[in-house]
Amino acid sequence: MEGEPILILLIEDNIDHAELVIRTMEGHHIDNKIKHFLDGQTALDYLLRRNEYAEPSASPRPHMILLDLRLPRVDGLEVLRIIKEEDGLKHIPVIILTTSEADKDMTRAYDQHVNSYLVKPVGFEDFSKLMNDLGFYWLGWNSHPHH
């Protein structure tokens, strides 16, 4: 893990939210890179190494996936389902980051083996704090096997 930057895949169609996530994560003193996709289809192309991402060098495996539920083209729950059914991907922690507090969304996400479900706070400050806490937990404290 030494020297290897942590790659975070951010799948989020709201540019403001994406900017905030990227800014907060960059503020951590952990070497991390964020790859941002605006829709579920392109993210799946990357993860499943299709089309422009067919070469493994063009699609390194992320250490963590931050996933919005409401996405164009392929929605977040479908992206989650596909990730968790793929042997090469299912070990990657997936964290849903959504505005939806609906129980049915939460239940469906946990049924698809999501690792964490976070509801985006409305205020900028609260959202920023959530991202900070998330960064410390997943990037700093959480232990995972080396692949």
Q: In this structure, what CATH number is given to the domain that contains residue 134?
A: 3.40.50.2300
Residue 95 contacts residue 118 (beta carbons within 8 Å) = yes
Overall number of domains in the chain:
1
CA distances from 52 to 10, 57, 60, 139 (A): 18, 11, 13, 28
19 found inside a domain: yes
Look at 105 and 146; give whichever has higher pLDDT: 105
Residue range(s) defining the domain that contains residue 97: 6-138
- Residue 117 maps to a domain: yes
- What does pLDDT average to over the chain? 85
Q: Is 145 inside a domain boundary?
A: no
Q: Is residue 72 scored above 70 in pLDDT?
A: yes
